[in-house]
Each structure stands twice: as structure tokens, then as C-alpha cells.
């Protein structure tokens, strides 16, 4: 290790202590232990250009253990990504670009929002899939990079890491270099109190290449050599195991559980800095020579980036498809390919969704994905585009296996990498298994499309374990997640247009059973979030439905008309889109001057914000044919009419 390397590592460790100390909050020990490895990656190994942090062919770096964020912020400052010393001083403060865990889109150079442990491991698998697909489809001249990440025992303990690592090994994703910070310490105590896994053997069993480097946490040359050996393995993902000592070289906190958090205070910080040979009386200290060295490292990739831009300019392949992939959209006129259906047909919206998806595949070239062993059931089958596998890296159909949580984290990684619009499917009731990834998608504004079918007790005989009732409300509670429950096939096609055009994640909620194609449904109405399907003069009540229940509202309105009661019918496919409308626009749709009744085959939670009363299912379902369950639990026109009559009664 050269003198300047040693000083750089020491200064990173100084910042790793100073940031949390200034905030009186944060995680010092992991950042200190990983400083040498991170230094090697940022100054010797990775290809990137800090002046162009979103250059598509850059190497990616993730901290799966996002609690060590001060380490990444120190590196981003030193390498010239735009952070300042004042930003480091504002670590974990309101409005700062240095929040407690890394947030993509908030801080230049941060590739993914990490914090919930294990999510980053799923993300790097998705990023590696996206890189492989782009390289195969558009050539290694344009896409030829690696994905690097650090992780700890917490990441490897979380179930999502098992799911993601298993699929990565099966697919042979050789562009992954995952560095395992093997420090033998957890918050509760030594790892051995709860964990005796043999991580290297576990990953070998998954089909990974494993480099066990041993006690080389401070040996830069050994770290670099191990990482480069991993990079040379092209047919397997690699795990690089490094035995580190949390909190090193602090005299009292190293190798202690306390070092997992904020435990190194003023006196110990000063003693540690003195031992490292950096000024004990200065905070966030980086000398000019080290900073200059890092700024050179930060722009070392400029020539590679400029050469890439020249190759892009002379690219002779399908430039329209390439641009559409990189911009996460379709080629010109893509929306015109969406299918339409004739009113009166009966079509399950999951089948309509697959027809729309199939129509979009040739014109939205970034669409890729599949299901968690439910590909055909959820309408996420992709015909004529190949299957992604070790033998075919250009394939766009991905079989995730029964790995819902891993699938969600992987899809987010694909979206955040760029070049792909991931589409993933399972049953709505199993959205519970992947909620962590869905929440992170919303936090990340990832352009991930979640397709959840079998959306109600209409699932039938499988019974309450498979019949969702509370999931819609739970998903609508997640900020920045667009939840769309289309009423019929034409609304479903419109939902696909909205999901491609809009930013951020979307959840498409689909029926297993056939539902009628209705008169009056519209693409513009879906984009608005809610609209009147039927708006006759002289109405005395408004019926509001989503999904399959819109047709029940239409049927109820016809019966009410026979009794001389005129009812409006509103389809309300997406609360989040409707929330963006002005109060005047909302009033024009919902007509607050009239009593209103919502109908949805799920819990009533949230509906009273919009309407006066709700026909809902505030209980678990039952095992029986779907139509019988729906009818027994009040999802029928007669039950709707009973509620309307109560609303219109003089006492109301």
C-alpha cells in the first residue's frame, strides 16, 4: 500500500466517524471496516465518470447494507460526483443530499435506494440481467460493464437474498461481484448467537464462484487481486468473502456490536485519528493530495465514456429500439398497436392484459419479465421474444420461479439499471410476500410494472388463503405507487398505455374470471383515474366501482331505472391518478351533490374519503365456486340496490 493510499483510507475512516458524530446518529463501524475495499473499487477497479454519473455503460456500485451510507458519501465527495464537505456535515439532516440510507435520484452516484437488508442483492441481480440483455441485443461495444456491491450478514440472513442469489446462480450472471463483509458482528452480538451458516458453501451450492480472501481487510493489493479474479469469471456470479473488523482501527469499539451504530464519540474519534496520523482537531479532513488523486480517479473513465459516445453515434443497428430501451418507452406510434374489444364480449382482464402486452412487445422493446411460477396464470407470458437463459441472453421472457420477494427486488434493479421496463406477475394475495420490494420501488420511483391477477374472492375454490380482500387497501397506502384496477378489457389496454407513459411503479390488478366489455369505458378516463361511464340526466345517486364491480354497478343501475331511480355509474380504476386532479374536476366526476355508493370486492378502508357508503367485503372469503362466493358476500346487483335504497331513504 502506498502512502497516499493509506492516507486516503484513513481519511475515509475519519469521515465515517465524523458524519455520524455530527448527526449524533448513524453507523460508523461498517463504513470504517469497508474503507479499504471501497477505496480499491473506486480508484483501481471500476470504470465510471463522475462528471457523467448516468452514463449507461458505467460500472455500478451498491451498498446493499445501506446503513453504511457515510462510506458511499465520502467516496462520492472525493471522486467529484458533486457532494461537498458541507453536504457531509449535514449528514442525516433535513433536505440534505446525504440521507441516512442511500436514495437513488436524490444523490448523484447512488444507483439504488438501499436500506432494507437484502434488497440490494436483488437489485444487482436485476442490473446484471439488464446488462446481459442489452449486450446481447445491441452489442458489447455499447454494453460491457460489471455490477459491484457490498453486503453483510444481515443482507445474507434476509430471505430475499436467498431468492435472488439462487436465481443469479441458475442464470450464470457473470457480471456480478458481490463483496461479503464477513465481520462476525451483529447488533445483538456476535453472529454466532443466531447464525452458523457457511456462506461460501451456500453460494457455491447456488452455482456462484467464491473467492475466500481471509484476513485481508486492510491489504489493498490482495483485495484488488481477489476482485479481479472474480471479474474474470464470466459464466457465474462471484462472491468475494473478506474477513473484516467492524470499527477498525478504533481502540475501544472495533469488533464490538456497538460499532454497528453510533458508538465512537469525540475522545475515541480523536484517539483513532491520532493513531491513523490525521489531524485529531479537524473534522471531515481530506488533504489536497488525496483529493486530487481521487478527482483523477473520478474522471479516469472520461476517455472510455467519450469513446462509448462515439460508438453510439456510429451504431448501425436498430437505433430506434435502442433509444426506446434507454428511455423506457416505445418506438414512434407504439400506443396505436394496443388492442380494442367490442362491448358485450366477456374477457378476463388478465387475458386482456396479456393481449395488450403481446401487442406492445415489438414496439416497446424494453419490456421484459415474467411470473413467479404463475406466468400463464397472470398474463405475463411473452411469446416470440425468447427466454432469458445462459444460452440466450437476448430473451425477454424471464422465469423467476417461486420467488416473489426476490422477483420484486430483481425487477427494481432492472428498472434502475436502465434499458428495461420490467413486468412481473403473481396473484394479488401474494403481493404480501413482495411488499418490501414494492415499497422500495415506490421510494426509488423505479419504472417497475407489477401485475397482480386473481384480484378478489372471485378466485373461488382455493379459499381465503388465496382470496385477497385487504391487499388493495394495503397497496393504495403506499405513496408513489399507482394502483390500477381496470373495469374491462378496454380499460386494461388503457392501463398499459398509462403504465408505459408514466414514471414510477405501477400495480395492475386483474380478474381471473371473465367480465363484460362495457359501453362507455375510455382510455382518457383511465388516465384521469375516475370518470362517468354512464351519466344520465336527472340522476339521484352515483354508483362507483372498480374492476369487476363496475359491471355490477351497471347492472344495478339498469334495475334501478326500472323502478324509476336514475343512477350514474363511475368507473374509478386509479385513486392515485384521480388525486392529481383539481377539486373541481373531482367534483364533476363524483358529484358531491348526490349520495354516492362505492362497490368493491375488498375491504372498505379508504373509500369513505370519496363516497358516502360502501358495499365491500370486510372479512375473509370462503372456499366455493367464485360466483357463489361473490354472491354470498354481497357482490351482486340486488345487494347494491338495497344499499342505494338505504341511502335514498328520507332519514338519510
Catalytic residues: 404
Residue pair 264/247 in contact by the 8 Å Cβ criterion: yes
Say how far apart CA 128 and CA 614 lie, in whole Å: 46
Residue 424 CB-density burial (10 A; 0-12 exposed, 13-18 middle, 19+ buried):
buried
Residue pair 158/123 in contact by the 8 Å Cβ criterion: no
Which residue from 212, 201, 191, 192 is spatially nearest to 165, judged by alpha carbons?
201
Burial 371-403 (b: 16+ CB within 10 A, else e): bbebbebbbbebeebbebeeeebebbbbbbbeb
**For residue 27, cis peptide bond before it (omega within 30 degrees of 0):** no
Question: Which residues, 6 or more positions from 36, have their beta carbon under 8 angstroms from its beta carbon?
Answer: 9, 217, 218, 219, 220, 223
Residue with cell 370462503: 622
Count of Cβ atoms closer than 10 Å to residue 346 Cβ: 13
Q: Sign of torsion, CA 32 37 39 41?
A: negative
Residue pair 122/406 in contact by the 8 Å Cβ criterion: yes
Residue pair 637/555 in contact by the 8 Å Cβ criterion: yes
Say how far apart CA 326 and CA 366 lie, in whole Å: 8
CA 425-406-348 angle, to 5 degrees, is: 10
Show the cell assigned to 608: 369513505
Q: What is the CA radius of gyration of the chain?
A: 27
Residue pair 599/572 in contact by the 8 Å Cβ criterion: no
SS3 (DSSP) at 12: helix
Ramachandran quadrant class, 93 (left: phi over 0; alpha: psi -120 to 50; beta: rest): beta
The order of strands in the sheet holding 482-484 is: 367-371, 421-427, 449-453, 506-509, 482-484
Amino acid at each position: 500500500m502506498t502512502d497516499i493510499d493509506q492516507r486516503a483510507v484513513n481519511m475515509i475512516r475519519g469521515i465515517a466517524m465524523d458524519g455520524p458524530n455530527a448527526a449524533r446518529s448513524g453507523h460508523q463501524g461498517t463504513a470504517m471496516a469497508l474503507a479499504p475495499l471501497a477505496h480499491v473499487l473506486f480508484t483501481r477497479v471500476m470504470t465510471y465518470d463522475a462528471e457523467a454519473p448516468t452514463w449507461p455503460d458505467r460500472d455500478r456500485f451498491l451498498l446493499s447494507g445501506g446503513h453504511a451510507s457515510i462510506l458511499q458519501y465520502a467516496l462520492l465527495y472525493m471522486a467529484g460526483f458533486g457532494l461537498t464537505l458541507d453536504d457531509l456535515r449535514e449528514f442525516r439532516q433535513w433536505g440534505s443530499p446525504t440521507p441516512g440510507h442511500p436514495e437513488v435520484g436524490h444523490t448523484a452516484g447512488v444507483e439504488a435506494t438501499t436500506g432494507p437488508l437484502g434488497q440490494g442483492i436483488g437489485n444487482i441481480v436485476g442490473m446484471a440481467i439488464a446488462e446481459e440483455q442489452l449486450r446481447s441485443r445491441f452489442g458489447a461495444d455499447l454494453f460491457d460493464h460489471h455490477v459491484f456491491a457490498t453486503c453483510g450478514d444481515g443482507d445474507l440472513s434476509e430471505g430475499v437474498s436467498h431468492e435472488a442469489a439462487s436465481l443469479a446462480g441458475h442464470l450464470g450472471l457473470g457480471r456480478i461481484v458481490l463483496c461479503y463483509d464477513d465481520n462476525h458482528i451483529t447488533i445483538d452480538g456476535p453472529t454466532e448467537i443466531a447464525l452458523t451458516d457457511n456462506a461460501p458453501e451456500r453460494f457455491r451450492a447456488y452455482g456462484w464462484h467464491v473467492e475466500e480472501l481471509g484476513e485481508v481487510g486492510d491489504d489493498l493489493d490482495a483485495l484488488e487481486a481477489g476482485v479481479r479474479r472474480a471479474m474474470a469469471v464470466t459464466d457465474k456470479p462471484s462472491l468475494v468473502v473478506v474477513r473484516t473488523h467492524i470499527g477498525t482501527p478504533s481502540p475501544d469499539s472495533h469488533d464490538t456490536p456497538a460499532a454497528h451504530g453510533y458508538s465512537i464519540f469525540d475522545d475515541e474519534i480523536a484517539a483513532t485519528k491520532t493513531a491513523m496520523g490525521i489531524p485529531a482537531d479537524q473534522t471531515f479532513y481530506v488533504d489536497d493530495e488525496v483529493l486530487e488523486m481521487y478527482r483523477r480517479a473520478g474522471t479516469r473513465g472520461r476517455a472510455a465514456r467519450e469513446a462509448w459516445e462515439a460508438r453510439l453515434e456510429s451504431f448501425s443497428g436498430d437505433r430506434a429500439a435502442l433509444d426506446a430501451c434507454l428511455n423506457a418507452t416505445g418506438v414512434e406510434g407504439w400506443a396505436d398497436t394496443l388492442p380494442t374489444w367490442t362491448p358485450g364480449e366477456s374477457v378476463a382482464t388478465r387475458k386482456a392484459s396479456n393481449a395488450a402486452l403481446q401487442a406492445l412487445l415489438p414496439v416497446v422493446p424494453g419490456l421484459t419479465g415474467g411470473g413467479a411460477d404463475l406466468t400463464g396464470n397472470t398474463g405475463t407470458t411473452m411469446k416470440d421474444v425468447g427466454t432469458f437463459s445462459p444460452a440466450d441472453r437476448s430473451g425477454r421472457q424471464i422465469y423467476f420461479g417461486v420467488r416473489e420477494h426476490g422477483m420484486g427486488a430483481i425487477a427494481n434493479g432492472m428498472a434502475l439499471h436502465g434499458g428495461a421496463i420490467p413486468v412481473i406477475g403473481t396473484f394479488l394475495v401474494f403481493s404480501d410476500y413482495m411488499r418490501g420490494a414494492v415499497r422500495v420501488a415506490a421510494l426509488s420511483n423505479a419504472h417497475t410494472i407489477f401485475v397482480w391477477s386473481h384480484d378478489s374472492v372471485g378466485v373461488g375454490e382455493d379459499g381465503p388463503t388465496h382470496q385477497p380482500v385487504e391487499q388493495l387497501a394495503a397497496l393504495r397506502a403506499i405513496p408513489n405507487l399507482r394502483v390500477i384496477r381496470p373495469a374491462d378489457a378496454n380499460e386494461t389496454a388503457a392501463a398499459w398505455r398509462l403504465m408505459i407513459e408514466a414514471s414510477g411503479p405501477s400495480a395492475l390488478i386483474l380478474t381471473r374470471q371473465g367480465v363484460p366489455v362495457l359501453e362507455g369505458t375510455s382510455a382518457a378516463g383511465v388516465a384521469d383515474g375516475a370518470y362517468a361511464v354512464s351519466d344520465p340526466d336527472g340522476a339521484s345517486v352515483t354508483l362507483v366501482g372498480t374492476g369487476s364491480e363496475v359491471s355490477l354497478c351497471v347492472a344495478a343501475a339498469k334495475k334501478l331505472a326500472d323502478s324509476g331511480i336514475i343512477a350514474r355509474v363511475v368507473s374509478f380504476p386509479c385513486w392515485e391518478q384521480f388525486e392529481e386532479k383539481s377539486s373541481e374536476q373531482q367534483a364533476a366526476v363524483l358529484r358531491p351533490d348526490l349520495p354516492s355508493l362505492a362497490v368493491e370486492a375488498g375491504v372498505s378502508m379508504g373509500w369513505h374519503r370519496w363516497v358516502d357508503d360502501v358495499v365491500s367485503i370486510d372479512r375473509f372469503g370462503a372456499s366455493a365456486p367464485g360466483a357463489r362466493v361473490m354472491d354470498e358476500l354481497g357482490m351482486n346487483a340486488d345487494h347494491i340496490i338495497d344499499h342505494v335504497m338505504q341511502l335514498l331513504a328520507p332519514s338519510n
